[in-house]
Amino acid sequence: MAHKDLQPTSATSCLEENHSISTLLCRAPLRRLSQHERESLWEYREKLRLLPEIMPIFSLAIPRQNRDAFAEARVFAACHWWQYRNIQEARCCRRWGILSAQTRVALACLSAQHADCFTRAFACQLLDELADKSLFEIFLQLTQALKLEAQHDSALARLLIRRAACSPLSLGHRLFWLLRAEMHLPGFSERYGVVLHAFLSSARQHCAQRWLTAANHALKDFETERHQRLAKRLGVNAGTSVHNAWKAIHGYSTCLNPALRCGRIRVEQCKVLTSKKLPLYVVLQNCDWRGDDFHLIFKDGDDLRQDQLTLQLLRLMDGLWRNAGLDLQMLPYVCVATGHNTGMIEVVPSATTTADIQVEYGGGAKGAFNDQVVSSFLLQHNRDATQYERAQQSFLKTCAGYCVATHVLGIGDRHADNIMVTKRGRLFHIDFGHFLGNFKFKYGVRRERSPFVFTPEMKRVIVHTPGRITEQIRLLHDIRLSRGDVLRVKGTVIVTLFTLMLPAAMPELLDSEDIDYCLGQLALGLSPREAAESFSRDIKLAQAAISRRLDNYIHNWKHTRAEPS
């Protein structure tokens, strides 16, 4: 739908008689224009200058065989730029944000469909008006859009370099690691190297990164070993090796938080996690004695770009809900890919996986069938009635938020080790190796049969007093529906961000057809009532899914057997 400040005037009435402009603007984001739509847009191009938001669609209607048409289209883009500038000045030069109509237009103009350098330069002019905080959030997509430029020297490359140079601690740091993570790609290493040259960091941080990689590679030699004692001993040896290498390093920063200065590694607290890739759990001393130590996970062997994208979209959804007055209390932690299948992940403090909660409070693997386990966990850490009620509210909000988010994004592999709960009741998801409806199968059987996770132990924790369960479940249901409606209104932003990540060639996001799952979950073609009814059916399906608890039981049983006696 057109932006409220950019509504078409009567000048577009002729075109609306043949084909509605609003229909074009609200079309499915990935649908191609028909020949009739292209001809209509070009025929009424003079009148469309009153509607700047039409630019991404209009540029697709330019007759490719007509050189004069391209020149005229560039004048069209210039007129739109001045209209946007006038709108901004009318608002006292307040910079627009990531969710504004201007930003949506700019991002759409940087997709693979728009090859004209002038159109892409127009998009960069709009993006240059973004504040650093907003630009930071879309750097992931902008670095991928660099792959679509015709030459190394482009308006987009200059924009990224200039803005990163002006804000090295945030944008510069972000740009460095986004480019560094894909320097191994033969087709783009030269282009990324040109942009990256201005942001080479000191040798200390590169040295630290290399030692972490070397230690993780050493552990991979023992990946087939199942005995946990051996893995633990190897972990201590690897941690000692890294610590010796870092003895002379002090006051360095990590890729997760450039503002935090770290000291020595606390080897006694480091360990090797039991997952397949044997990631390192690392604890770094905080150089500021008043602050807590910094906990992170270093992974080697997984492509963390997909996790980065998923967490970015979770932050976007959180922002959408906050703008609508809904405080979600969500926890989209920080994850940074640092190279080919390597990266670092922020550890959320005071959080436990639901698998560990089920095993500890449910008497082993069978705790997956115990409705009381999460309630018992929260009661132990929130003994005061007021504290527990506050934890309940946090759990209700975050549970609803992540149900909607994982439903829209099609997050798969949601076993109990990939869902965590903090001591204060905030639920959150981790490890986003499967999304866009790529659910896991085992021996030809689909393990995940519900669209999101909402098990009886989650339902039970919402209200500890049975008499209030109906009221609270209704509240949970209402929150989910309202949050789903917010995402439907701004759903095209999510689709655009997915589209701009296609050049990354991630296994589950290779072409536009992969994004169809997200479009289907957003239900943009349904009325609000139809969408609400569809989501209500999914909620009932999730509550009734016995297969989810059985999958958790098998997962817990497998991992408890692997533990040392």
146 part of a folded domain: yes
Query: Tokens at residue 265, please?
Result: 């590694």
The model's pTM is 0.83
334 part of a folded domain: no
326-352 burial string, b = 16+ CB within 10 Å, else e? bebbbbbbbbbbbbebbbbbbbeeebe
Residue 277 CA to residue 70 CA, distance in Å, equals: 52
Contact criterion met (CB below 8 Å) for 495 and 518: yes
Same domain, 97 and 178: yes
311 part of a folded domain: no
User: How many CA within 13 A on the CB side of residue 361?
Assistant: 22
What residues make up the domain containing 51? 19-202
Same domain, 446 and 535: yes
Same domain, 196 and 213: no
Query: Which helix or strand (DSSP H or E) is residue 234 part of?
Result: helix 228-245
Give the residue from 202, 226, 259 where a domain finishes: 202
Identify the CATH number of the domain in which residue 469 sits: 1.10.1070.11
Give the residue from 202, 237, 255 where a domain finishes: 202
Q: How confident is the model over 28-54, as pLDDT tens digits?
A: 566 677 777 777 777 777 766 666 677
Low-confidence ranges of the chain (pLDDT < 70): 1-31, 47-52, 64-67, 69-98, 198-250, 441-447, 463-485, 488-489, 561-565
Identify the CATH number of the domain in which residue 276 sits: 3.30.1010.10
Residue 523 CA to residue 343 CA, distance in Å, equals: 34
343 part of a folded domain: no
12 part of a folded domain: no
Residue 139 CA to residue 133 CA, distance in Å, equals: 10
Question: Which string of DSSP letters, residue by residue, matches 465-512?
Answer: SGGGHHHHHHHHHHHHHHHHHHHHHTHHHHHHHHHHTGGG-BTTBSSG
Domain count, the chain: 3
Same domain, 183 and 235: no
Residue 89 CA to residue 84 CA, distance in Å, equals: 9
Residue 460, C-beta contacts closer than 8 angstroms, at least 6 positions apart: 371, 372, 374, 375
Identify the CATH number of the domain in which residue 48 sits: 1.25.40.70
Same domain, 195 and 262: no
Give the residue from 149, 177, 202 where a domain finishes: 202
Same domain, 226 and 166: no
Q: How confident is the model over 325-347, as pLDDT tens digits?
A: 888 899 999 999 998 889 999 99
Same domain, 277 and 354: no
pLDDT for 9 equals 42
Same domain, 279 and 366: no
9 part of a folded domain: no
Same domain, 76 and 33: yes
Same domain, 404 and 386: yes
Looking at 285-421, list the stretches that DSSP marks H as alpha helix, in order from N- to C-terminal side: 305-323, 354-361, 373-381, 385-409
Same domain, 365 and 510: yes
14 part of a folded domain: no
Same domain, 72 and 159: yes
179 part of a folded domain: yes
Residue 124 CA to residue 102 CA, distance in Å, equals: 11
pLDDT for 91 equals 46
